[in-house]
Structure 1
Amino acid sequence: MPAPLTGATLVAQMDGEETALFLFGGRARQAKEPVTQFYSGVYHYRPSEGKWSRKNDMQLGRKKPIQLAMAAGVPLGASHILLAGGDEGSIYNRVEAEMNALESGDLTASERRDSLWLHHPGFFNRLLVYNTVTDTWLDAGQMAEPVAVSTAVSDGNTVLLAGGESRPGIRSASIQAITFSVETGFGWLNYVVLGIYFTGMLLLGFFFMGRENDTTDFFKAGGRIPWWAAGISIFATTLSAITFIAIPAKTYAADWRMLVFNLTIILIAPVVIRYFLPFFRRFNFDTAYQYLELRFSRPVRWVASLLFIFFMVSRIAIVLFLPSLALNAVTGFSVYWAIVIMGVVTIIYCTSGGIEAVVWGDVIQGFILIIGAFLAFFYMMSGVEGGIGTFWTSAMDNDKFRTFDFRFDFTQPVFWVVLIGGLANTLISYTSDQSVVQRYMTTKDEKATARSIWLNGFLSIPVSLLFFLLGTGLYAFYISNPGQLGVVNPNIDSVFPQFIVSQMPSGLAGLLIAAIFAAAMSTLSSNINSVSAVVTADFFKILCPTASSAKSMLVARWSGIVIGLFGIGMALVLAAWNIASLWDQFNTFLGLLTGGLGALFVMGIFFKRIGGTAALGGVTGGLMVLLLVKNHSDLSFLMYGFTGMFSSVVLALLLSLIFPNRKKLKVTRGRI
């Protein structure tokens, strides 16, 4: 304990980074002191650090700190704590003073003491809500029956207070229910803006529909995409709606330590261009996994393709589900309708217009994202008391701009973890993810593709800074306006959508929500089109080599439709069962598989002695190593990609001593 106290309130709640303990108020009578001291202090205990720290006192605005003991406390939502009732100590101290006088021989003191008990005005009657992230308080109203020494429990939106004392020595048999709610509403103008956006996306797909004559057009756009459009498309594909919502939320709750993770593309781009891009471009592969058959064997290609399809279908579901969940929390818009509308519109325009519709849709959606983010930051600053100056002071005083943490603690997002994990995950995405690699094939030549990769990398710097600024801006805004944040929002990821809906003018709010849909649909369209390419090129054309071009196009379109509908179905199941936490675990498991995919390409390009058998054995062993690490260590999940890739390559090299590579490849002028 941080101090010798009694009657303090101890509550466990997320502090933005981990579940921590918060200790409020309390009382203590020091030796030789005539009366008990009541305290207003707040202490914070973070298990990962193993120590207590002092927070701001219990205080509403600039008013006098509130000294309080024997209050009931309960966590609310993702980052709030309710304190109900309790004793401020003024009457308690007066009773103590009369008892001291009685001990000193003042016989009339007993009457005054009894009068204080009999005419007690009641206990503290305010409901105080504490934000564990911003360290601020708000007054949530008055209690119907103020009590002390009560017990509080919560089922989400409703807090139940059972029993307690209504007066000193007088127990209460009542159970009080306190219900919190978040006002939701979107407005007709916002719906009009969303309608215009969705209509535009549908028209885009129909516009390009007549230009897709065969699968080369459908999946590669016949090399007609300008390098700058391909670069923006790569950027928009890797920036999903989850990222659009999660980066500001993460920065609001924590700091900037994850920034390095987002900027590692600058270090990976020259590696991809120098060593990987020539294989994809010069051999004119239909999919990234075609290389694995030529380098290893067809079983390796099919294993990689199946892993990719499994991962992408699941990713489609989560990209549909989680943004819909966040939007529902703040707008009241149905989770089910959000999933269906996003999914169906995306399926129509990406299966109608092929990769051209996807790429140009990404360009439009990318501009919507950036414009929307700038507008949101402007409105945040206009709502902060003191503007940019207060924003900067609040962020600096609370270490919100901390970017580099050089501790050697691989369970936390320290610099080494973020850098190594970021490099590994970026390398995996830009070399083994068909939804990214497919963009490499849409430009006229290898040089244009290299320029698109560099453009994507350079775009990542200012846009990442902008999204991290949004999170810090939210922090400053809610310090100035603690009552504007919904206290029962179950997930901190809803903090940015709630700001959009509640603080931005109608119409602009619709544009920002359209930006969230745009981020989701950009990723969805890329995922659907890339899975369609894998199904068509890696399976259908191999199993049906004599199929006509028209039949291949039919398979390409219908496979995209089926995959998209399957993803929608999985998202609807998640929404119906409300298993977001289980889905987090499932998605973590899927993330374990991508390390093996990346490892196959690293083996193929850099290690000639590894053959197909050793490669498959290495990937299988690497997955087992990762599962052991996940279940029996506290290693940060950011290191999973590196651990999986490194262990797979090492195990494959060891297996190559037993199963050497016997496949000879002859490369002549871009042909194998």
Structure 2
Amino acid sequence: MADQKEYSYNTGRIATFVIVDYVLFALTLLVSAGIGVFYAIKDRNVKTTKSYLLAGGKMSVWPAALSLVASFMSAITLLGTPAEVYNFDTMFMDMTMAYIVAMFLAAHVYMPILYRLELTSVYEYLEKRFCKGIRLLGSVVYCTMMIMYMSIVLFGPSLALNAVTGFSLWGAVVTVGAVCTFYTSLGGMKAVMWTDSFQTLMMIAGLLVVLIKGSMEVGGFSNAWEIASQNGRIKFGEASFDPRVRHTVWGFIIGGGILWTSIYGTNQAQAQRMFSLPSVKKAQIAIWLNFPCLLIILYLCGLIGVVMYAFYSKCDPITFGLITASDQMVPLFVMDTLSHLPGIPGMFLASIFSGTLSSVATGMNSISAVILQDFLRPFCLKDMSEKMATLVSRLLAVFLGMLCLVTTYGASKLGGILQAALALYGCLSAPMLGVFTLGMLFPWSNKWGAYSGTLSSIAIMTWISVSHYESKIKPPMSPISVEQCNWNLTLENSLGQYSLANQTEEYVYPTGLDGLYSLSYLWYNVIAVLIVIIVGLIVSFITGFQDPKQVDPKLICPIFDILCPCLPQKIKEKLHFGVQHENKYDTKDPETNEPILLSNNPKPE
């Protein structure tokens, strides 16, 4: 690494954006806005909510797959994952195992049931399976969760980039929020999915540029890998069964698998993308096509973290005082390695905010669908025409855009954006996966079990999350050093040749309640789902369990048929536990060859 160059740890100054950078950023926003205008004009004569919210059910597989990637691979991932590798190690890249579990469960367990019911809001399932109250509970939890999530996604990256590049904080928040609102309200789901596709390509391009140039600055990627390895950053396959260990193989397979299943299997935002495709088979293909794209972004982010550590291995920017939070590491690295190439930092800024645009637009579109289908149509506007419903959906998108801007302040209080977002899903998204699982896999469960299980899970997980935050318990970090920082440039720290080698001492995990509060965030999801299922089944049996023969088989997943397809038919029927799956289908669609569900419940024996 050529320390003679004017890097921030040599000069004490961080380079700022130039005009060309702002121009490239603006062009990205204009392209996204232009897609919204295009589809608003193209579909100006279409006045149905199916066209606006579900793209008419005629989208092709590739845009859907790329949109699935962009929806939750936001700026949180692009900024948080490299910082995770810098602060800890490369174990986060083992999230691959979680993706595999989630893709299988989403594509073959959850999504087919929801798709074949011809829903707009996934929470309609909960009314069909349990009651209207459970549907409304799920809708309220989802809207709350997504508004919080959009705030994190919008404010977190804006704050990090403002601190490092000088890019206006509220200028970024307002501009990006306004553009999202504009193209989402105008173009609907088609605009969202096609802009997601464009933004996914932007993210990958930006990450590639940073990885390649960063590797050049540290003498090649192999050299960066060697430096990271010598300092404890290269680590894979940790197989500890201790749930307090931040990242383990079991944590990813079980906890991470449940986390991403809650996103791909029962999340309204992803389900809408599935419902926009013409058949279950194509929806399943889209889910699996999205998998390699997820891996590309995960691995690029992880490898950037390796290179970034090699670059700052002798001068930690936070200890040196250049930045104040890990979320600012990637923008600082970009400015150190790319600022001498006008326009390239702006391209990276555009790729970061491409992730923000896609996630916020996803939230607006999906919440609009939930509010329309679960609250307005059943209660306020029962006789609303399709034209009026489409107009209301557009107005809801505008309202949600403004609400997102108002709630961004709270996001600044949540700490590191990666863990804040993932912990949020542990508290709210995983209980929702739990109640869908209770309904689909346990035909004995009833509405009282669903109520008690869901509310208990949310309450307990909120208690654990808040207690963890208040306890200030932090997982052990990998060692850092500041021995080559230019301390002559700052008067705030006179430690000189200071090294944090003491961090290599063996970490002692807390016990008792502190041990519970120190659980890895990945296991939050496991606990949340188990609480829903266990409490839900206990209460269901106490209050009078549902007779499986009376349950509509369209609402139950024959899980053993999927996991053990080679079992003899007689054994499969016994493992249906009385649910009349053999009476579920009447015929097949001649065009798609998909089974057509019976319109009425089967008659009990």
- TM bin, normalised by shorter chain, reads 0.7 to 0.9
Q: Which amino acid aligns with 2:18?
A: G
Q: How much identity, in percent, do the aligned residues show?
A: 26
Matches of 1:303 and 1:586, distance apart in 2: 21
The C-alpha deviation readout for 1:251-284, integer Å capped at 9, x for no partner, is 1222111122244121222222222222122111
Higher helix residue share = 2
Q: Does 1:510 align with 2:346?
A: yes
Tell me if structure 2 keeps the 8 A contact 1:257–1:418: no
Deviation (angstroms), 1:464: 1.4
Mark the CA change 1:228 to 1:485 in structure 2 (over 3 Å): closer, same or farther: farther
Deviation (angstroms), 1:527: 0.6
Deviation (angstroms), 1:623: 2.6
The C-alpha deviation readout for 1:365-394, integer Å capped at 9, x for no partner, is 00011111111111101111x323422321
Q: Does 1:204 align with 2:32?
A: no
Matches of 1:550 and 1:139, distance apart in 2: 62
Unaligned runs of 5+ in 2: 468-512, 555-583, 585-595, 601-605
Deviation (angstroms), 1:628: 5.1
Mark the CA change 1:340 to 1:399 in structure 2 (over 3 Å): closer, same or farther: same
In structure 2, the partner of 1:541 is 377
In structure 1, the partner of 2:438 is 603
Deviation (angstroms), 1:456: 1.0
Residues 172-191 of structure 1 correspond to what in structure 2 (within 5 A)?
182-191=13-22
**Equivalent in 548, 570, 573 of residue 407 of structure 2:** 570
Larger Rg: 1
In structure 2, the partner of 1:339 is 173
In structure 2, the partner of 1:526 is 362
In structure 2, the partner of 1:465 is 299
Q: Does 1:643 align with 2:479?
A: no
The C-alpha deviation readout for 1:486-522, integer Å capped at 9, x for no partner, is 7331101111111223321111111110000101111
Q: Secondary structure at the match of 1:657?
A: helix
Tell me if structure 2 keeps the 8 A contact 1:321–1:574: no
Matches of 1:556 and 1:570, distance apart in 2: 21
Using the size of structure 1 for normalisation, the TM-score is 0.70
Deviation (angstroms), 1:586: 9.7
Matches of 1:364 and 1:561, distance apart in 2: 22
In structure 2, the partner of 1:618 is 453
Mark the CA change 1:483 to 1:312 in structure 2 (over 3 Å): closer, same or farther: closer
Matches of 2:268 and 2:135, distance apart in 1: 13
In structure 1, the partner of 2:394 is 557
Tell me if structure 2 keeps the 8 A contact 1:263–1:461: no
In structure 1, the partner of 2:162 is 328
Q: Secondary structure at the match of 2:444?
A: coil
Deviation (angstroms), 1:139: 7.3
Mark the CA change 1:529 to 1:666 in structure 2 (over 3 Å): closer, same or farther: same
Tell me if structure 1 keeps the 8 A contact 2:438–2:533: yes
Q: Which amino acid aligns with 2:30?
A: T
Using the size of structure 2 for normalisation, the TM-score is 0.77
Q: Does 1:665 align with 2:500?
A: no
Q: Which amino acid aligns with 1:528?
A: M
Q: Which amino acid aligns with 1:283?
A: L
Tell me if structure 2 keeps the 8 A contact 1:182–1:330: no
Mark the CA change 1:426 to 1:547 in structure 2 (over 3 Å): closer, same or farther: same
In structure 1, the partner of 2:67 is 233
Q: Which amino acid aligns with 1:408?
A: F
Matches of 1:468 and 1:558, distance apart in 2: 40
Matches of 1:626 and 1:468, distance apart in 2: 29
Residues 87-98 of structure 1 correspond to what in structure 2 (within 5 A)?
none
In structure 1, the partner of 2:570 is none
Q: Secondary structure at the match of 1:258?
A: helix
Tell me if structure 1 keeps the 8 A contact 2:79–2:327: yes
Q: Secondary structure at the match of 1:257?
A: helix
Q: Secondary structure at the match of 1:264?
A: helix
Unaligned runs of 5+ in 1: 1-60, 63-136, 141-180
Matches of 1:444 and 1:503, distance apart in 2: 46
| Further displaced range: 422-431 or 394-403 | 394-403
Higher relative contact order (CA 8 A, sep 6+): 2
Q: Secondary structure at the match of 1:479?
A: coil
Matches of 1:592 and 1:294, distance apart in 2: 25
Matches of 1:538 and 1:611, distance apart in 2: 21
The C-alpha deviation readout for 1:447-485, integer Å capped at 9, x for no partner, is 111100001112222331111101001111223787899
| Further displaced range: 469-478 or 589-598 | 589-598
**Equivalent in 168, 181, 200 of residue 366 of structure 1:** 200
Matches of 1:382 and 1:307, distance apart in 2: 47
Q: Does 1:500 align with 2:323?
A: no
Matches of 2:305 and 2:524, distance apart in 1: 26
**Equivalent in 236, 240, 243 of residue 410 of structure 1:** 243
Tell me if structure 1 keeps the 8 A contact 2:426–2:521: no
Tell me if structure 1 keeps the 8 A contact 2:107–2:265: no
| Further displaced range: 295-304 or 584-593 | 584-593
The C-alpha deviation readout for 1:158-187, integer Å capped at 9, x for no partner, is xxxxxxxxxxxxxxxxxxxxxxx6435210
Matches of 1:521 and 1:265, distance apart in 2: 23
